[in-house]
Amino acid sequence: MPNEARLGSGRWMRLLPFLFLAPGLALVLLLFLYPLLRLVAQSVLDPTPGFDNYVAVVTDPTLWQIIETTLIISAQCTIVTLLLAYPVSYLLSRLPRARANLLMMFVLLPFWTSLLVRMYAWMVLLGRHGIINEALLGMGLSATPYPLLYNRFAVVVGMSHFLLPFMILSLYSTMIGIDHSLIEAASSMGSSFRQTFMRIYLPLSLPGIYAGSLLVFILGMGFYITPALLGSPQETTISVYIQQQIEELNWGEGTAMAVILVGIVVALFAVYDRLLGFDRLFRSVGAQ
Amino acid sequence: MIAGRTGRRLPHTLLWAYAIAVFAFLIVPLVVVIPVSFSAGMYLQFPPPGFSLHWYRDYFGDPQWIDATVLSVEIALCVVVLAVTVGSLAALAIVRMPFPGIGLIRILLMTPLIVPSVVVAVAVYSVYVSFHLIGSFLGIVLAHTILALPFTIVLMVAGFQRIDRRLEEASYTMGASVAWTFRHITLPILRPSLFASAIFAFIASWDEIIMVIFIGGGAGTTLPLRMFNYLRTEINPTIAAVSTLLLIVAIAVFAGTEGFRLRGAARRSVKGSDA
């Protein structure tokens, strides 16, 4: 009785959730979904109706090159972060919880630091007269400065630095759930380190590898700031290209490329959902 | 047996060495800006030729830097209020009033997180041109709110799910009103989630550049945009001073959230030992 009096009943009750969802839905529909659909429309209507823009993208070798560059940079970052993260996540998952949390601070602090600060830091470190080159020259390890900045190397290093925490957290959340008595059982029965790792630990950690790699690859596809600041024109990614086209008011090809990028990303997220479920992604955001 | 033990020790040491190298890779690029910002040199040099506060004076003495900072803070605070309010309402509906199709709505509300930000920026830009929102304060706040919303929704959904409904029921049974129960039961339990949502919303806006590049117009030069333009044209240590100040803010915020989390954990463990 007090329950009903409190909450009201009937039609009002059924409208209440929509009332609560309305502001969020209005924002997302008006400022996100509607603009996105307009963008798709523009890609087939500007300047003339038809699929000319897509034909142009597919037949132009320089545009293929841009798509390829983006995919390769993303793949390189995925491999680098996986190699860096795997042993670290393993170590963190094996430490007592309090100590792991303490070390996790190193992983989480970059999340809170402005991307621009990090970009500037990489310029200071990798520049022609940057810290690394000065150190190498000073130690007599090289006679001339190495070209470390404004190339592929700098872009992959800068992006991997940004993406590494995502990989570490994805792997860690899987590894923390692995029952370690399985590994002990295997080695007590005479299995070598290599065998135990290949046959038991690696397969058990695969969900983390899939989750981390897909997430890093997807995020890597959308990078704009890092390639724009640390790369050369050869590191023109899809995002950089889109921005350039819009700046030059070349809406047709710019929007076509945007639709292609969204297509790739959505397809990869569908794979993520199939393999691991979206809930995992939401949880990893919430857990931070 | 002894051989086995040393055999296990070596990989252990190697593992730690590897981990420390990776942590260094994560942290060094954050702290390297600090010595550069106190350098007396005009050019990027390491080690710095001498100590100076020159670049801090440059920053605090330049109204353009200060205006950009104030604008960024104002935008971020508005985004926090909007995104946390809208996100909490949506989360309440998702957790407490599920209806068929809510899963789809939830995914729809999360999509701004999935689509690359350049694409979102181009899309919003084309709509803003027709709404005359380019270069307006409101326009930037709304655009940033879209990006912050997925974070606040996820965090508030987790927050509402954590609440033990029996506490509220108990309060009602004992004759408390909805308002009283919300104020004295629900809100205190939600406080950590609200705090976390606010921080995420703030950072989502504070650190955002791509949207602002497109829709900022002449009037909307936020701090990150000014830094971006600076890094593209000239690099002088003023930006190191700005970076150091931002780093201090980041560490303060981080320490704040960690402290909050540890206090919450401590309180929970105390409660656990009571039971």
pLDDT in the model for residue B72: 93
Find the mean pLDDT for residues A17-26: 89
The alpha carbons of chain A give a radius of gyration, in whole angstroms, of 24
Range of weakest confidence among A26-40, A67-81, A180-194: A180-194
pLDDT in the model for residue B266: 57
pLDDT of residue A2 exceeding 50: no
Digit-coded pLDDT (tens) for B117-172: 999 999 999 889 888 888 889 999 999 999 999 999 989 998 898 888 888 888 88
When comparing pLDDT for B6 and B175, which is higher? B175
Would you place residue B237 in the very low, low, confident or very high pLDDT band (cuts 50, 70, 90)? confident
pLDDT of residue A156 exceeding 50: yes
Find the mean pLDDT for residues B63-83: 94
Q: Is the Cβ–Cβ distance between B36 and B46 less than 8 Å?
A: yes
pLDDT of residue A1 exceeding 50: no
pLDDT in the model for residue A57: 81
pLDDT in the model for residue B262: 61
The mean pLDDT of chain A is 87
Number of Cβ atoms within 10 Å of the Cβ of A55: 11
**Spatial separation of the C-alpha atoms in residues B78 and B88, rounded to whole Å:** 15
pLDDT in the model for residue B253: 79
pLDDT in the model for residue A132: 86
Helices marked H in chain B: 2-31, 33-37, 54-61, 63-96, 102-114, 117-131, 137-162, 165-173, 178-181, 187-206, 210-215, 223-233, 238-274
pLDDT in the model for residue B103: 81
Digit-coded pLDDT (tens) for A77-129: 999 999 999 999 999 999 998 899 889 888 988 888 888 889 989 998 998 88
Show the domains of chain B with their CATH numbers. 73-221 (1.10.3720.10)
Q: Is the minimum CB–CB distance between A266 and chain B shorter than 8 Å?
A: yes
Q: How far is B189 from chain A, CA to nearest CA, in Å?
A: 16
Q: Is the minimum CB–CB distance between B194 and chain A shorter than 8 Å?
A: no
Q: Is the minimum CB–CB distance between A21 and chain B shorter than 8 Å?
A: yes
pLDDT in the model for residue B15: 92
Range of weakest confidence among A218-227, B1-10, B215-224: B1-10
Q: How far is A131 from chain B, CA to nearest CA, in Å?
A: 6
> Residue B112: which of A28, A129, A258 has the nearest Cβ?
A28
Q: How far is B254 from chain A, CA to nearest CA, in Å?
A: 7
Find the mean pLDDT for residues B190-198: 90
Q: How far is CA B197 from the centre of its chain?
A: 9
Superfamily the domain A50-287 falls into:
MetI-like (1.10.3720.10)
pLDDT in the model for residue B274: 35
pLDDT of residue A20 exceeding 80: yes
Phi, psi of A129 (to 5 degrees): -105, 30
Residue of B nearest to A240 (CA): B118
pLDDT in the model for residue B2: 39
What ipTM was predicted for this assembly?
0.88
**Spatial separation of the C-alpha atoms in residues A55 and A260, rounded to whole Å:** 12
Highest mean pLDDT among A47-51, A65-69, A137-141, B260-264: A65-69
Percentage, residues of chain B above pLDDT 90: 29
pLDDT in the model for residue B205: 93
pLDDT in the model for residue B267: 56
pLDDT of residue A279 exceeding 80: no
The mean pLDDT of chain B is 83
Range of weakest confidence among A268-272, B207-211, B265-269: B265-269
Digit-coded pLDDT (tens) for A29-38: 998 999 999 9
Q: Is the minimum CB–CB distance between A102 and chain B shorter than 8 Å?
A: no
Q: Is the minimum CB–CB distance between A12 and chain B shorter than 8 Å?
A: no
pLDDT in the model for residue B1: 37
pLDDT in the model for residue A60: 87
When comparing pLDDT for A282 and A168, which is higher? A168
User: If you count DSSP H runs as helices and E runs as strands, how many of each does chain A have, helices first?
Assistant: 16, 0
Number of Cβ atoms within 10 Å of the Cβ of B65: 20
Percentage, residues of chain A above pLDDT 90: 47
Instruction: Count chain A–chain B contacts defined by CB atoms under 8 A.
Output: 258
pTM for this prediction: 0.87
Q: Is the minimum CB–CB distance between B149 and chain A shorter than 8 Å?
A: yes
Residue span(s) of chain A under CATH 1.10.3720.10 come to: 50-287
**Spatial separation of the C-alpha atoms in residues B200 and B203, rounded to whole Å:** 5
Range of weakest confidence among A128-132, A250-254, B256-260: B256-260
